[in-house]
Amino acid sequence: MSETLRTAHTFELSPAELLQIRTLLTDAFHGSFSDDDWDHGLGGIHALVHEDGELVAHGSVIQRRVIHRGRSLRIGYIEAVAVRADRRRRGLGGLVMETLERVIDGAYDLGALSASDDGAELYRARGWQLWRGRIDALGPSGVVHLPDEEDSTYLRPAAARPLPDPSAALLFDWRDGDVL
């Protein structure tokens, strides 16, 4: 099979390509990939893997802001990572992540993501570290504690920067749908 990797910003993707990505994500997440999930994965850099012209893997990295110890950090947040079911366990997820990690390393203070149980193994194997501190979001009514996110949020330090101190919370920016 002929495998190709393409990176593109959301604005460079045609409506047909966006539909292919959305279809891959809907299938990969067994129909539970919501409109808000879709929106969260747009507006950044996409990594797309095609085999013989068919989209088989995708992920994106978008910018978010996190306040930690009074400092606003620009982070690359990984979204919408999926590999077509019949192409899993062949390194395609790693190829997508390698590409997105280069973006994080070159453009952000650190990387972050919220992992599903199925995806956590991939991220841990790539050196992502489970955040051991508190997770909050700055909502329309103020700070909201998100204890359910505290066992699924992973961080990646970028360009030799240390990870934030887990004794202080990560305060994420607000967005519609799932807060993170």
pLDDT tens for 71-126 read 999 999 999 999 999 999 999 999 999 999 999 999 999 999 999 888 899 999 99
CB of 100 within 8 A of CB of 76? yes
- Positive or negative, the CA dihedral 170, 99, 10, 55 is negative
* % the chain with pLDDT above 70: 96
Helix (H) or strand (E) holding 94: helix 92-107
Return the higher-pLDDT residue of 161 and 26. Answer: 26
Question: What pLDDT is recorded for position 158?
Answer: 66
Predicted TM-score (pTM) of this structure: 0.93
Question: What pLDDT is recorded for position 164?
Answer: 85
CB of 77 within 8 A of CB of 112? yes
Question: What pLDDT is recorded for position 20?
Answer: 97
pLDDT interval class at 170 (50, 70, 90): very high
Each domain of the chain, given as residue ranges in start order, spans: 3-172
Question: What pLDDT is recorded for position 130?
Answer: 94
CB of 167 within 8 A of CB of 134? no
pLDDT interval class at 54 (50, 70, 90): very high
Residues forming a β-bridge with 155: 112, 129
What's the rounded mean pLDDT across residues 62-72? 95
Give the separation between CA 178 and CA 45, rounded to whole angstroms.
21
Give the separation between CA 54 and CA 84, rounded to whole angstroms.
10
Quote the CATH superfamily of domain 3-172.
Gcn5-related N-acetyltransferase (GNAT) (3.40.630.30)
